[in-house]
Amino acid sequence: MFKLLSLILLSQSLFATDLLEVYYEALENDPTFKSAYSVFMSESQAIPTAAAALLPQLTATGLIGRVYTEVMAGRNLDVNRTYSQNQLSAQASQTLFNLKLWSLLEQARANVRAALANFNDASQSLMLRSTKAYFDVLLAQDNLTNATALRTFNKRQLEQTQERFNAGLDPITTVYQAKAAYDQSCALVISIKNDINTAEQNLTKITNLSYEKIAPLKNKSIPLIYPEPMQADTWVSTSLKQNYKLSAAKFYLEASRKNIKMQFSGHLPSFNIYGSFSETHNKVSPYNLSTSPTTNVNQFFNNIFVPAMQRNAVAGFNMSLPIFQGGLVISKTKEAEYQFQNYSNQLESVRRELIANTQITFHTIASGIEKVKADRQSLESQRVSLASIQDQYQVGTRTITDVLYAEQQYTQSKFQYSSDQYALIIQILQLKYLAGTLNVKDLEEINSWLQTKVRVGLSPHSKKVLDSLIKHHD
């Protein structure tokens, strides 16, 4: 029977969804990440859009229509014709020098680099959000297990105090105290069940899937690993070099600097070469010829004004120099300069926040490890203390109040231990996210702390998405 139960528990563990599976499903289904990818792909088109204005421009035009022409030049000269016209024309131009267009291209390149940095930040944020949502579910489940154990304990105490009261060993107040503790634990279980539902829905929002069971921690504990290196300043230095939010802010500042150059270039001349060609065919309906001199004159001028075929070709060099535009260039340049100051302040704000958050997260991890160690010792001490108080209550040297309080403290210690462990995991990933080094290998390491099956590889679609993500990281 024991072997059968072990096999059942093992099979449930093997089929539980682990952290990596949740992340890969989030990679495919999270709308926030997919939106970030779409934004990046959209903004990446800014470069070919800006470059298009610097490349050769060619336009072809065709026309088919009916034309009415009437020219009167005196009493005896009246050219009056309605005829069909077919026209084909082509225009070509090539920019030789236009600083405004070149500045616009440089600005587009900076904006695309910023968009790529934002996308990379979104990909790391997805790892962080997926992990937090996963462990929020585990925390709620652990809390439910501990709250259920507290309720069972309080129910047993209520039954025992009722029996002792019936036997005349305890006063009725002990029954009331035990009943109050039991009712309170029942309410706690109901509240935590709602927390589980909330946590599961938050996970579903990311993956668009529901999970019957997710893999818990092995032995309900995590390895306590200090950050490497163990110097906060080193992590800050890495963050200032590699954090994607900071990189995006730097590229936006660079784009705003190019915008100043682009607006100022409105004062400068531009040069280009151009050419055009057109060919027109006119089809005039035949008319009755006459030997009248007037008719012959009209026919002669008709042939001049409405030729059967006409070709035109033009080629040249063009220079354009804006002289005065009502102060537009000066106004736009000043506006761009103030925008540059704004982006400069935003960059400084991101930089300061990054330094502070990296320092805080590093020290939070160090203190978090010590706190988990203290939690483990406290948990054992609370367990021993509870057992001792229960024994003393049985022999009459302790009251039911002492027992209920000790059990409540023991349960609170279990709540705190679970919370501190999962918070430490998130802080470890948060530090790497701030440093810009968070990747799938970090999730694989944490996944190895779970009771999960051996992974043999990804689905073809997941691998394709992940490969695309890694390529964008590079």
Domain assignments of the chain as residue spans, ordered by start: 11-54+98-268+326-473, 59-97+269-321
As its CATH architecture, domain 11-54+98-268+326-473 has Up-down Bundle (1.20)
CB–CB of 84/232 below 8 Å?
A: no
- What's the rounded mean pLDDT across residues 45-66? 91
Q: Please tell me the predicted confidence (pLDDT) of residue 161.
A: 86
pLDDT at position 459, please? 53
Question: Tens of pLDDT along 183-220?
Answer: 999 999 999 999 999 999 999 999 999 999 999 999 88
Of residues 278 and 298, which shows the higher confidence score?
A: 278
Name the DSSP letter for residue 455: P
As a whole number, the mean pLDDT across the chain is: 86
Give pLDDT, residue 390: 87
Task: Over range 342-361, report the average pLDDT.
Answer: 96
- pLDDT score of 109: 94
Q: What are phi and psi of 281, to 5 degrees?
A: -120, 125
How confident is the model over 310-322, as pLDDT tens digits?
Answer: 899 999 898 888 8
Specify the pLDDT at position 464: 59
Nearest to 445 by CA among 155, 162, 23, 96: 23
Q: Average pLDDT for residues 391-409, to the nearest whole number? A: 86
Higher-confidence position of 400 and 124: 124
Residue 78 confidence (pLDDT): 67
Residue 11 Cα distances to 6, 219, 444, angstroms: 9, 17, 22
Q: Report pLDDT for 297.
A: 53
Listed range (49-63, 65-79, 155-169) with the worst mean pLDDT:
65-79
Residue 267's pLDDT is 84
CB 439 within 8 A of CB 466: no
- Report the side by side order of strands in the sheet with 57-72: 57-72, 78-97, 270-284, 309-320
Extended strands (E) in 293-376: 309-320
What pLDDT score was predicted for residue 14? 53
Give pLDDT tens digits for 134-165. Answer: 999 999 999 999 999 999 988 998 888 888 88
Predicted local confidence at residue 232, as pLDDT: 93
Q: For 427-466, what is each residue's pLDDT tens digit?
A: 999 999 999 999 999 999 999 999 887 554 555 555 655 5
Does position 393 have pLDDT exceeding 50, yes or no?
yes
pLDDT beyond 90 at 112: yes
- Map tokens 């900071």 to a residue: 246
pLDDT score of 456:
44
Distances in Å between the Cα of 39 and the Cα atoms of 42, 45, 246 are: 5, 10, 18
